[in-house]
Chain A
Amino acid sequence: MRDLRDAGHLLRLVAVFAVIFAAFLVVRAVLVPKGFGRYGHYRSEALAEIASRPIAYAGHQACENCHSDIVEVKSKGKHKSVNCESCHGPLAKHVDDPASVQPAKLDTTSLCPRCHTANAAKPKNFPQVSPEDHSGGVPCDTCHRPHSPVIEEAEAKP
């Protein structure tokens, strides 16, 4: 470009773009979250945010710390590996405040069939019945003790 004055308008255009670009860089420096990129292409603050979500299920260890008598009974029966909250529902609030937060009383008529209703897709050796045929609608805990469900002859209720 021999005559720069004839390209003056182009320089003005470039100047406009340069100003816009500089403004963008400033805005970017302000707005990008501080922890971004520390461990990878994400906000490192997110890890802590996700990890701090409150818990609903306390986990069987927490139950077993208090209810060791139930653990005794359960550990000898078929429900040994069934965790407490699997039937009793989420109880972290009860662990936090055992006195005022009480677990709801369970209705075995609806609870037990969830696992034990017969279904052709269930493993063959899994204990499953048709609730109607098996008990005619009578609550399961009429005959079975949920924490140790197999009925031994000596314990069979009349």
Chain B
Amino acid sequence: MHVPVEGFMYPNEVELQWSVLIVLYPFITGLVAGAFILASLERVFRVEAVKPTYRLALLTALAFLIVAPLPLQLHLGRPERSFEMYLTPHRSSAMAMFGFVYLWYLMGVLVVEIWLEYRRDIVQWAQSKTGLSKWLYKALTLGSYNVSERALKIDDHVGWIITVIGIPSAFLLHGYVGFIFGSVKANPWWSTPLMPVVFLFSAMVSGIAVVMLLYMLTCRLRRQPIDMRCVDTIAMYLFYTFLIDFTLEMVDLIHRIYEADESFRSLDFMVHTKLYFSQIMLQIGMGTITPLVLLAITQLMWLPETWRKYIYSSAGVLTLIGIFAMRWNVVIGGQLFSKSFLGYTTYKMGFVTREGLLPAIVLSLLPFAILYVLVKVLPPWHEDAALPEAAHGD
């Protein structure tokens, strides 16, 4: 496959090493971390208004977390050796953390929190359902049917502790990805101490946006009224988190332009040519400034409910596009220029290849399919579960 090169690149640099799948991976873990932070708003910080999204946020995080290792497996040259990261993790490598941080977050935080949250319902369903699902719920009870008030209080307390531990765990789950890029001194597009922080805040933004959109969508599908107090609150958190994210990215940009080190001219040229569409138009224009302006309008003045719903939906979708574009610009952008600062290459993305666009699309849709199953097995909505509302942390 002939790759067009402009200027000079070291001969081994011409072919990109990390593909669209490596763009997808931080996007997915970002959604996980962000969804979890939204859930923790209610659980730990007692933001009552967002309670309708609590269970949905947890299930969303789980659905995306299950898919997260898949783009990595598809990308590896030798995927059958991936378990080596559990056998001989190299402690100086940020990437070696992945296996353990992932496993900890999946099992020690998310699964435990979901189990504790749903345990009373699980016990009830194990006793009331029939057929195959009865056995599923029986297995999930781990053999304990104790749903006395005292047991539930213990669950609540332990769940609170798990969420508190879960917040830095979520930061670690996504922050280390930022560090993977930020610590590569060979690549000036990546190497900055701000990278983990920027990744984290953009993750929170994307996670909050996706839960907000899913909540609004599932309410429509279930023909239930959208709790506007909830959505207004989420949108407010989205707006302020996005402001911080935008500020951080601007600080990085202004700093680069001001210091203008040896890489600057090459990177500047790249942003204005090869990354013009994905960075200037998609990430900054459509994906950051537009949703910020839209959300700012709703924060600064009162608008009727319908208007707000439309603004939140469009801002949410644009936000997700913008955050995906940010991941693209970091990963792909970091490989388009030569480390000699004398040339540029092109990313040839295949379609039906192991690391092509088709697998990327399938992997992006898979979490929603998994979420659908999770929502059926563990319905987040109490009217479906036919149980009185549990009181949390009153």
Contacts and interface: CB of A to CB of B under 8 A. Distances in A.
A36 B84 CA distance: 12
Given A6-B148, A9-B146, A13-B142, A32 B87 contact: yes
Contacts of A24: 86
Contact of B144 (A12, A32, A36): A12
Interface string A4-23: 01111110110011001000
Contact residues on A (Cβ < 8 Å of other chain), bracket: 20 to 34
Instruction: Give chain A's interface secondary structure class.
Output: helix
A107 B144 CA distance: 86
B201 to A, nearest CB: 32
Contacts of A7: 151, 154
B86 A1 contact: no
Given A6-B146, A8-B144, A37-B88, 20 more contacts: A1-B154, A6-B154, A7-B151, A8-B146, A9-B142, A9-B144, A9-B146, A9-B151, A9-B155, A10-B158, A13-B112, A13-B142, A16-B142, A17-B107, A28-B87, A31-B83, A32-B88, A36-B88, A41-B88, A41-B91
A16 B83 CA distance: 21
Interface in A16-49: 16-17, 20, 24, 28, 31-32, 36-37, 41
Interface of B: 83, 86-88, 90-91, 107-108, 112, 115, 119, 141-144, 146, 148, 150-151, 154-155, 158
Most buried by A among B142, B148, B155: B142
30 contacts: A1-B154, A3-B150, A5-B146, A6-B146, A6-B148, A6-B150, A6-B151, A6-B154, A7-B151, A8-B146, A9-B119, A9-B144, A10-B154, A10-B158, A12-B142, A12-B144, A13-B112, A13-B115, A13-B142, A16-B142, A17-B108, A24-B86, A28-B86, A28-B87, A31-B83, A31-B87, A32-B87, A32-B88, A41-B90, A41-B91
Contacts of B87: 28, 31-32
A8 B150 CA distance: 12
Nearest to B151: A6
A37 to B, nearest CB: 8
A7 B151 CA distance: 6
A122 B90 CA distance: 45
Nearest to B152: A6
Contacts of A10: 154, 158
Contacts of A5: 146
A15 to B, nearest CB: 9
Contacts of A31: 83, 87
